[in-house]
Structure 1
Amino acid sequence: MCGKKNLKIITGIDNFNVDQVVEIAKAADIAGATYIDVAANPIIVREVRKATNLPVCISSISLQDLYSAALEGIDVVEIGNYDYLYDNEIVFSRKQIVSLAQEAIKLFPNIDICVTIPHTLLLNDQIYLSCQLEQLGIKILQTEGINIKSPIKSSSLTEFMSKAYSSLSANYAISQAVKIPVIASSGMNLVSASLAILYGASGVGIATSVKDCINIYAKSIYIQELMNSMKKNKTISPSYYLSSIQNVNNLVV
Structure 2
Amino acid sequence: MTLLQTLPVSLQKSIQHRSLLKVISGLSNFNPESVFRISKAAGLGGADLLDIACEPELVELAVEASNLPVCVSSVEPKLFPEAVKAGASIIEIGNFDSFYPDGRFFSAEEVLSLAVESRRLLPEVVLSVTVPHVLPLDSQAQLALDLVDKGVDLVQTEGGTSSHPISPGTLGLIEKASPTLAATFAITAALNSNHSDVPVICASGLSEVTVPMAISVGASGVGIGSAVNKLNSQLAMIATVKSLRQALNSFEFASTINK
Q: 1:151 to 1:129 in 2, by over 3 A?
A: closer
- Aligned 1:206-217 pairs, distance under 5 A: 206-217=224-235
- SS of the aligned residue for 2:179 comes to helix
Does 1:168 find its partner at 2:181? yes
Q: Is the 8 A contact 2:163 2:175 kept in 1?
A: no
Letter in 1 for 2:73: S
Measure how far apart 1:151 and its partner are: 9.8
The answer for unaligned runs of 5 or more in structure 2 is 1-10, 192-196, 253-259
- In 1, Cα distance between equivalents of 2:59 and 2:81: 12
Measure how far apart 1:82 and its partner are: 1.4
The answer for the alignment partner of 1:105 in structure 2 is 119
Q: Is the 8 A contact 2:24 2:229 kept in 1?
A: no
The answer for the alignment partner of 1:29 in structure 2 is 43
- SS of the aligned residue for 2:99 comes to helix
The answer for the alignment partner of 1:230 in structure 2 is 248
Does 1:89 find its partner at 2:106? no
Q: 1:57 to 1:155 in 2, by over 3 A?
A: same
The answer for the alignment partner of 2:255 in structure 1 is none
Q: TM-score, normalised by structure 2?
A: 0.83
- Give the superposed CA RMSD: 2.1
Does 1:186 find its partner at 2:204? yes
Q: Percent identity?
A: 36
- SS of the aligned residue for 1:45 comes to helix
Q: Is the 8 A contact 1:152 1:160 kept in 2?
A: no
- In 2, Cα distance between equivalents of 1:174 and 1:150: 22
Q: Is the 8 A contact 2:54 2:79 kept in 1?
A: yes
- SS of the aligned residue for 2:58 comes to helix
Q: 1:153 to 1:122 in 2, by over 3 A?
A: closer
- Aligned 1:132-171 pairs, distance under 5 A: 132-147=146-161, 154-155=168-169, 157=171, 159-171=172-184
Q: Is the 8 A contact 2:165 2:173 kept in 1?
A: no
- CA-to-partner distance for each residue in 1:94-135, whole Å, 9 max, x for gaps? 111111111110111111000000011111111111111112
- In 2, Cα distance between equivalents of 1:52 and 1:17: 16
The answer for the alignment partner of 1:196 in structure 2 is 214
Measure how far apart 1:18 and its partner are: 0.9
Worse-superposed segment, 107-116 or 139-148: 139-148
> Which of the numbers 10, 20, 29 marks the counterpart of 1:6?
20
Letter in 2 for 1:147: T
Give the ranges of 4+ consecutive aligned residues of structure 1 lying more than 4 Å apart after TM superposition. Answer: 148-153
- In 1, Cα distance between equivalents of 2:107 and 2:209: 31
- In 2, Cα distance between equivalents of 1:149 and 1:168: 11
- SS of the aligned residue for 2:127 comes to strand
- SS of the aligned residue for 1:166 comes to helix
Measure how far apart 1:152 and its partner are: 9.4
Q: TM-score, normalised by structure 1?
A: 0.85
- SS of the aligned residue for 1:163 comes to helix
Report which of the two has the higher share of helix: 2
Measure how far apart 1:84 and its partner are: 3.3
Q: Is the 8 A contact 2:39 2:62 kept in 1?
A: yes
> Which of the numbers 149, 163, 177 marks the counterpart of 2:190?
177
